[in-house]
Amino acid sequence: MHETELNDLSDDADYAASLQQGSASMTRSDSSRRSSSSEPDGAEVVYLKDNVTIHPTQYASERISGRLKLIKQGASLFMTWIPYKGQSSNARLSERDKNLYTIRAVPFTEIRSIRRHTPTLGWQYIIVVLSSGLAFPPLYFYNGGVREFLATIKQHIFLVRSADDANVFVVNDFQDPLQRTLSSLELPRAVPVANGLSSSLSASESPTDKNQVRADGVAVDGSLSSIQNNGRQRQKMHDPARDLSIHVLEKFSLVTRFARETTSQLFRENHSEGFGANERRNHSQSSHDYRQNAASIDVEKVPHEVPVAPDPLEKSPRSNRGEAAATNVGTFELIDSKEIDKLTVWGKPRQPPLGPEEWATFLDSEGRVTDEKALRKRIFYGGVEHNLRKEVWTFLLGYHAHDSTYAEKEYLVSIKKSEYETIKNQWQSISQDQARRFTKFRERRGLIEKDVVRTDRSLSFYEGDDNPNVNLMRDILLTYSFYNFDLGYCQGMSDLLSPILFIMKDESESFWCFVSLMERLGPNFNRDQNGMHSQLFALSKLVELLDVPLHNYFKQNDCLNYFFCFRWILIQFKREFEYERTLRLWEVLWTHHLSEHLHLYVCVAILKRYRRKIMGEQMDFDTLLKFINELSGQIDLDAILKDAEALCICAGEHGAASIPPGTPPSLPLDTGLLYTQQDDEVL
């Protein structure tokens, strides 16, 4: 397969097949291009492909099909993708959902590269990466035609195959030396972009109001090499097709100021029209009047700070009581900052953790949870006592159903233990001779063995040489790579498994609880990273919704990609809090009380808490990245949870509408492909 991919673009089976099948579905003749009434004067459709599909979630059953075009206007080439009206593979996808993914006319001067994926099993797709490092969602070609698409581009602009990866095609506009420089930079890749109109082409292309833009879950196609912990030397950035490092944030700081300044105009244009613009309400017409008792807390006094725009949800000392603030979700009564000093914040006070006696009141005589909703709410406000976590976590993670009896749970444990041993035996039975012929197994095993020996080794449970718990972690991860062979193993998974094994202290039960967690967070580790970047995009929309001045600050400083929050989301704040506090946070998030995306509101709460320092010190991207990393171990979890709760309530349906459908940790509502097929490269 790889040898075929190294051939010239014209050597293309898809291209030859398309000629045999007829060009009507692929391209238009010159006369039809020029006579097309849908294009403005001077525009020519040089490529047209129907049934090109976007998957808004990680499930194959949910897809949006549309028409992909390449349009030539003068010396410029543009790309558009317009979803079909009135067609959907799933009733849950509304017309508004489909319109959010519309790709309006994007000039190739703003495109950095195109990544082609041709998996052995599954459909071909491409990922288009912009010069800024942002990307559009994967475009799937169910009827072939990827190479003809690339060949057509090559006829009109300079397209060169990357020397590092034969499946990456770099776009260079040699009339623009700055663009040429950007093409050679190793920019961070693929965060979803809210695509604005690029030219007059979009006026005729767009099926909806021009302010309606897409919210995508696009993906980091590229990945970075492992980067050691603080104080260790950084390694060189590797091939984009290799594994995504858990420390990817640190590598982003290597992006030069020159590159970011060059692309600043692109950021401003692309983010000028945000997700859900049609859902916003004029502030003066808002019927919302949430009267909450606090706002986010700015906990640090900023030396030499410049004037900072006030938090729209916090009253300045000079304001009069009863004064109101307008946000994108309505009008709110402001509070005096002196009240903040008294810790009068939004959200209910945190409660003591759930103990054994109280836990027993939620169970009937046979062990069933009698009021699941009330139990989740109780855990949300207080967490769980440590000695009770093993029992409660199996319920929160879905390993045991809330209505299962003691006998049913015991039977399930027995069955699952046998099933686990069967899966584990698959890799344990591989002989050395077989392993020499099983490259993917050897390399995955090597990655796991390297990661487990540096995961939480300062914890007594994992410290010391030849620690059996470290060996258990290795075995569980190797078994999972066989259980879910498509996803395999990626760096960061050991961080998610470590607390589970620490609590469960049983190999089989730890494995199945980890499986349940990965049902929710697995898309974070997909090669195309659609799960991660749908969350980053949703985060940007929530900040815009809840703190317009902070959003505008990030916009002016080219920080709207929110890469500085990448680690928070990828491993669920695992490295931001002390171990015990992380356990408390996770069990609160797993309740899904108020929202299954509460972790995004936690991100907003942290940013708002430090907004005065961020804005007052005029942090640029590099400074902000360093500051965020240095917050590790300094964040007040209880206060952040109270703020996150209040922000979630405040945002209400507007907040929910800002999160694209299927954004992790959403669970599947119907059957389908849970994880996308990975390429042949080792994860």
What one-character-per-residue DSSP string does 451-484 give? HHTTSSTTSTTT-STT-HHHHHHHHHHHHHHHHT
Question: Do 221 and 190 contact (CB within 8 A), yes or no?
Answer: yes
> What is the rounded end-to-end Cα distance, in angstroms, of the chain?
18
The helix (H) or strand (E) run that includes residue 450 is: helix 439-452
More confident residue, 495 or 1: 495
* pLDDT score of 667: 57
The Cβ of residue 278 has, within 10 Å, a number of other Cβ atoms equal to 12
- Mean pLDDT of the 367-396 span: 97
Distance CA 520, CA 527 (A): 16
The helix (H) or strand (E) run that includes residue 69 is: strand 64-73
pLDDT tier, 468 (very low <50, low <70, confident <90, very high otherwise): very high
Condensed to tens digits (0 to 9), the pLDDT of residues 548-588 reads 999 999 999 888 889 899 999 999 999 999 999 999 999 99
* pLDDT score of 222: 34
Half-sphere exposure of 269 (CA within 13 A, CB side): 15
Residue 258 has pLDDT above 80, yes or no: no
Q: Name 474's Cβ contacts closer than 8 Å, sequence gap at least 6.
A: 448, 449, 452
* pLDDT score of 485: 92
When the pLDDT of each residue in the chain is averaged and rounded to a whole number, the result is 74
More confident residue, 495 or 297: 495
The bridge status of strand 76-83 relative to strand 103-107 is antiparallel
Residues in the chain: 683
Strands of the 289-290 sheet, one edge to the other: 289-290, 330-333, 324-327
Distance CA 603, CA 431 (A): 46
Question: Do 45 and 80 contact (CB within 8 A), yes or no?
Answer: no
Residue 94 has pLDDT above 70, yes or no: no
Q: Write the CA distances from 54 to 93, 129, 130, 215, 668, integer angstroms.
A: 12, 15, 18, 12, 18
The Cβ of residue 471 has, within 10 Å, a number of other Cβ atoms equal to 13
Q: What are phi and psi of 82, to 5 degrees?
A: -120, 125
* pLDDT score of 412: 97
**Distance between alpha carbon 506 and the CA centroid of its chain, in Å?**
31
Condensed to tens digits (0 to 9), the pLDDT of residues 282-327 reads 333 333 433 333 334 344 444 455 677 777 776 444 344 444 455 5
> Whose CA is closest to 133, among 621, 680, 683?
621
Residue 451 has pLDDT above 90, yes or no: yes
Q: What are phi and psi of 66, to 5 degrees?
A: -160, -170
**Most confident range, picked from 92-106, 295-309, 607-621:** 607-621
Q: Write the CA distances from 51 to 103, 105, 128, 144, integer angstroms.
A: 15, 18, 17, 10
Instruction: Write out the two tokens for 175.
Output: 């009339």
More confident residue, 566 or 276: 566
* pLDDT score of 104: 85
The identity of residue 55, as a single letter, is H
DSSP string, 283-349: GGG---EE--S------SPPTTPPP-PPPTTS--TTSPTT-EEEETTEEEE---HHHHHTT--SSPP
Distance CA 71, CA 45 (A): 4
3-state secondary structure of 220: coil
Q: Where are the beta strands (DSSP E) in 553-614?
A: none
Condensed to tens digits (0 to 9), the pLDDT of residues 597-610 reads 999 999 999 999 99
* pLDDT score of 560: 87
* pLDDT score of 504: 97
3-state secondary structure of 264: helix
* pLDDT score of 526: 84
* pLDDT score of 257: 38
The bridge status of strand 330-333 relative to strand 289-290 is parallel
Q: Write the CA distances from 276 to 96, 148, 214, 280, integer angstroms.
A: 9, 35, 9, 7
Distance CA 559, CA 213 (A): 19
Question: Do 555 and 318 contact (CB within 8 A), yes or no?
Answer: no
- Mean pLDDT of the 663-673 span: 57
Residue 211 has pLDDT above 60, yes or no: no
Percent of the chain predicted with pLDDT > 70 = 63
More confident residue, 622 or 241: 622
* 257 burial type by CB count under 10 A (0-12 exposed, 13-18 middle, 19+ buried): exposed
R_g of the chain computed on alpha carbons: 26
- Mean pLDDT of the 193-203 span: 39
Largest CA distance in the chain: 80
- Mean pLDDT of the 121-134 span: 79
Percent of the chain predicted with pLDDT > 90 = 46
* pLDDT score of 531: 85
More confident residue, 635 or 37: 635
* pLDDT score of 100: 74
3-state secondary structure of 279: helix
Locus of tokens 């640190």: 250
* pLDDT score of 348: 76
The lowest-confidence range among 161-170, 396-405, 495-504, 600-609 is: 161-170
Q: Write the CA distances from 425 to 366, 447, 515, 554, integer angstroms.
A: 35, 20, 17, 51
More confident residue, 216 or 67: 67
**Most confident range, picked from 95-99, 203-207, 674-678:** 95-99
* pLDDT score of 60: 61
pLDDT tier, 255 (very low <50, low <70, confident <90, very high otherwise): very low
The helix (H) or strand (E) run that includes residue 46 is: strand 43-54
Instruction: State the DSSP code for 237.
Output: P
* pLDDT score of 349: 83
Question: Do 134 and 190 contact (CB within 8 A), yes or no?
Answer: yes
Q: Write the CA distances from 618 to 132, 304, 307, 551, integer angstroms.
A: 21, 10, 10, 14
Task: Kindly compute the dihedral angle of the four CA atoms of residues 182, 53, 661, 112, in this order, to the nearest 10 degrees.
Answer: 0
Q: Where are the beta strands (DSSP E) in 363-521?
A: none
Residue 193 has pLDDT above 50, yes or no: no
Q: Where are the beta strands (DSSP E) in 350-416?
A: none
pLDDT tier, 130 (very low <50, low <70, confident <90, very high otherwise): confident
- Mean pLDDT of the 268-279 span: 38
Q: What are phi and psi of 467, to 5 degrees?
A: -70, 125
More confident residue, 554 or 144: 554
- 549 cis-preceded (ω within 30 degrees of 0): no
Question: Do 139 and 63 contact (CB within 8 A), yes or no?
Answer: no
pLDDT tier, 457 (very low <50, low <70, confident <90, very high otherwise): very high
Residue 651 has pLDDT above 90, yes or no: yes
Residue 57 has pLDDT above 80, yes or no: no
CA triple 354-358-359, angle to 5 deg: 75
The bridge status of strand 330-333 relative to strand 158-161 is unpaired
Q: Write the CA distances from 71 to 23, 33, 46, 620, integer angstroms.
A: 17, 9, 6, 37
Question: Do 110 and 90 contact (CB within 8 A), yes or no?
Answer: no
Instruction: Write out the two tokens for 218.
Output: 């696009």
